[in-house]
């Protein structure tokens, strides 16, 4: 792939396992990468340093996606450093693994706020400049559970299903301005979020996956990379499931 020329990507949740690999992949392709974080400042800064040492351009930026004023302030900070943000990857997420009867009003609100409303807020703040420039790429990270649902993850599944619906609607809205909006739905990815499973549970899950293994953050990052390319200009409103054939979704 040809190197991206003068392009800037903002990866929300860039300090997490999947987000960090997305940052690395985009940086290697020549993007100036703004790493969005809320609480993992040391991880975000370490990643920015890693990318810079490798010859890329990257900095860490605080962003609370639950606060639109924070998102706006982050946008202004990134623009001062790198100029127009033409690529946004919404990768912030909050785990919610419990029975619905054990959910609290606060827990429900927090999951929906981070996993759904946060992506809406980021798109609301960053998309107008893309529209004005008549170029932009938005990639929202959903989940396989947003497609088929999962017991013990009802609120999380609802939020991720909402991401898919939001992606399709925003894609239709922004298509006339040459801005694409797509989603990537990871399946079982080998990340700390899935460390709660025992060895026997992991083996049982792997048996359900036709490819016989968990996915990796790199598998997800390559899908994001594809949607971010200029060559994907005629693809929008799509949800790409990265799950090794799981449930043939």
- Residue whose entry in the numeric block shows the structure tokens 């040492």: 53
Q: Across the chain, where does the E strand assignment appear?
A: 8-12, 32-37, 57-62, 87-90, 136-141, 179-186, 239-242
Please say whether the beta carbons of 130 and 184 come within 8 A: no
Please return the burial class of 204, using the count of CB atoms within 10 Å of its CB with bins 0-12, 13-18 and 19+.
Answer: exposed
For residues 195 and 238, what is the distance between their CA atoms, to the nearest angstrom? 29
Please say whether the beta carbons of 68 and 124 come within 8 A: yes
* Catalytic machinery residues: 156
């Amino acid at each position: 792939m040809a190197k991206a020329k003068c392009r800037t990507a903002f990866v929300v949740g860039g300090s997490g396992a999947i987000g960090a690999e997305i940052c690395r992949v985009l940086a290697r392709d020549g993007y100036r990468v703004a790493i969005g974080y809320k609480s993992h400042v040391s991880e975000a800064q370490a990643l920015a340093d890693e990318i810079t040492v490798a010859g890329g351009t990257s900095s860490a930026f605080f962003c609370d996606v639950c606060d639109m004023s924070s998102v706006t302030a982050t946008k202004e900070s990134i623009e001062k450093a790198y100029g127009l943000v033409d690529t946004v990857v919404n990768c912030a997420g909050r785990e919610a693994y419990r029975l619905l009867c054990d959910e609290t009003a606060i827990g429900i609100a927090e999951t929906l706020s981070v996993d759904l409303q946060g992506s809406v807020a980021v798109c609301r703040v960053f998309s107008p400049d893309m529209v004005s420039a008549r170029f932009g790429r938005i990639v929202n990270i959903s989940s396989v559970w947003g497609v088929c649902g999962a017991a013990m993850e009802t609120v999380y599944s609802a939020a991720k299903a909402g991401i898919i619906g939001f992606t399709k609607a925003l894609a239709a809205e922004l298509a006339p301005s040459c801005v694409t909006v797509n989603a990537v739905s990871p399946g079982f990815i080998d990340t700390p979020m899935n460390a709660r499973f025992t060895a026997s549970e992991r083996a049982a899950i792997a048996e359900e996956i036709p490819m016989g293994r968990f996915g990796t953050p790199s598998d997800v990052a390559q899908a994001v990379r594809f949607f971010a390319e200029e060559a994907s200009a005629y693809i929008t409103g799509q949800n790409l499931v990265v799950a090794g054939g799981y449930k043939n979704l």
